[in-house]
Structure 1
Amino acid sequence: MTQRIYQVDAFTGKVFSGNPAAVCPLEYWLPDDLLQKIAMENNLAETAFYVPQADQFEIRWFTPTVEVDLCGHATLAAAFVLFHREGYAGNSIRFYSPRSGALTVTREETWLTLNFPADPLQEVPLTEQLKSCFNKAPRRAFKGKTDYMLVFDTTDDIVTLQPDFGAISILDARGVMATAPGQTTDFVSRFFAPQSGIPEDPVTGSAHTSLVPYWAKQLNKTQLSALQLSERQGFLQCRYLNDRVEISGQGKLYLTGEIYLD
């Protein structure tokens, strides 16, 4: 059998930047071990799979090593594929994740807006284990549903941050985000998840479900701009809606193809 596959650069308007995600539209769910093997073979941060269900699409996300609870950039990529390659006629797509619930994506011209549940943070002690993850110490530490968030003082701190992947990989979390106030945007960040098979993620939509509530309260504003300072970089427009977060970005198609499965 053959399986359609697309690769989309998410949270960018040009190829070779943003965060690449693979997208596989399915008619029915394939076995989990096959989904994981496809994601491993793709060797991208995330591969999204979706199946149509009545008036919505069930969606799941896999890194090269594990299935994850939520992925922003691969959801944006899946919506891009539906809108631009799979003939979806509306301007709003309803996704459903067995792990994260209802998710929607709307389009306005070239921008796609994700509506995700906010991830509330709890401040946690700044332990030596957390300090050992990077070459400089953060000033505050928080924990959300799946990730740690470490807060630094300046954009330059984030740019020059050197991760210790061994130390990060033993944290009891999906990964760790590092963040600070921005210079040209409201805040900046980077995201590291070696324990999930992603040493550094280029642009992490799901991390902004934690970042946006934190910075909205710190800056006393609900509309925020964000820049993820990986090598590829990505720009996001965000809105804080108390229990939900809107995350907007663009996408660019990189390839279409077929997977040949025995």
Structure 2
Amino acid sequence: MGIQIFQVDAFTKHVFKGNPAAVCPLNEWLGDYILQKIAAENNLSETAFFVKKNDIYELRWFTPKTEVDLCGHATLAAAFVIFNFFEDSLHSVTFETMSGKLVVEKEETDLLFMDFPSRRGQPCDLPEELIRALGEEPAEVFLSRDYLVVYESENQIKRINPNMDLLEKLDSLGVIITAPGDEVDFVSRFFAPKVGVPEDPVTGSAHC
């Protein structure tokens, strides 16, 4: 059995930049065990698998350790593969996913835009384990699927060296740390050792 695998660098115009995702087009779904083994062997933060059903594509995402319910860069990567290698006349692709229908549109400039569900975090108490894992006390903390930890300066974000063992024990999928940027609106980093992604280069779903 042969399976095509594409590797796409999302969120960038330059090779070896951005966030790489593997994309595997399938004619029909394989067993979860096989999908997980493929993702583990790819050893990227996400491997996307899609199957076309009528006019939409069913899409699933796997980290090296588990399936996840939402992933930004691998969704863009899957759309890029469809637009460029399967249906070059399309200007919009709809994915059916664990998080509902997701739409990616291609502009005339070939830029891709996607509409993602909002995951508004709620203010929460600051877990002691989170402070110990990050090593610095933040200004604010919010919780949705992930902890969103807000600091006061870009320098704090740069110098944090998290304890991955402690992060893995938290009651969230991942941890986003963010602060106002010195020359941009904000800076952020994303850690998800629980699902096999110690630190993700760029995380679309962290900005939902």
What's the TM-score once normalised by structure 2's chain length? 0.97
Partner of 1:77: 77
Cα distance in 1 for partners of 2:195, 2:56 equals 28
**How far 1:152 moved relative to its partner?**
0.4
| Partner SS, residue 134 of structure 2 | coil
Spell out the pairing of 1:71-150 with structure 2 (5 A cutoff).
Answer: 71-97=71-97, 99-108=98-107, 109-144=109-144, 146-150=145-149
State the AA in 2 paired with 1:174. Answer: L
Which runs of 4 or more aligned residues in structure 1 lie more than 4 Å from their structure 2 counterparts after TM superposition? none
Give CA deviations for 1:207-236 in whole Å, capped at 9, x if unaligned: 110xxxxxxxxxxxxxxxxxxxxxxxxxxx
Cα distance in 2 for partners of 1:184, 1:55 equals 43
Cα distance in 2 for partners of 1:183, 1:59 equals 37
Unaligned runs of 5+ in 1: 210-262
Cα distance in 2 for partners of 1:182, 1:111 equals 25
Give CA deviations for 1:188-220 in whole Å, capped at 9, x if unaligned: 1000000010000011001110xxxxxxxxxxx
Is 1:43 paired with 2:19?
no
Question: Structure 1 stretch 179-188 or stretch 34-43: which is displaced more?
Answer: 179-188
Q: Structure 1 or 2: larger strand share?
A: 1
Partner of 2:20: 20
State the AA in 2 paired with 1:50. Answer: F
Give CA deviations for 1:17-37 in whole Å, capped at 9, x if unaligned: 111000001111011100000
**How far 1:129 moved relative to its partner?**
1.4
Cα distance in 2 for partners of 1:29, 1:184 equals 45
Partner of 1:158: 157
Q: Structure 1 or 2: larger helix share?
A: 2
Cα distance in 2 for partners of 1:174, 1:110 equals 33
**How far 1:137 moved relative to its partner?**
1.5
**How far 1:89 moved relative to its partner?**
1.5
**How far 1:127 moved relative to its partner?**
2.4
Partner of 2:190: 191
Is 1:52 paired with 2:45?
no
Cα distance in 2 for partners of 1:160, 1:176 equals 16
State percent identity of aligned pairs.
Answer: 52
State the AA in 2 paired with 1:155. Answer: E
Cα distance in 1 for partners of 2:136, 2:12 equals 29
Cα distance in 1 for partners of 2:140, 2:148 equals 8
Higher RCO, Cα 8 Å, sep 6+: 1
Paired residue total: 207
Cα distance in 2 for partners of 1:30, 1:63 equals 16
State the AA in 2 paired with 1:164. Answer: N
RMSD, aligned α-carbons: 0.9
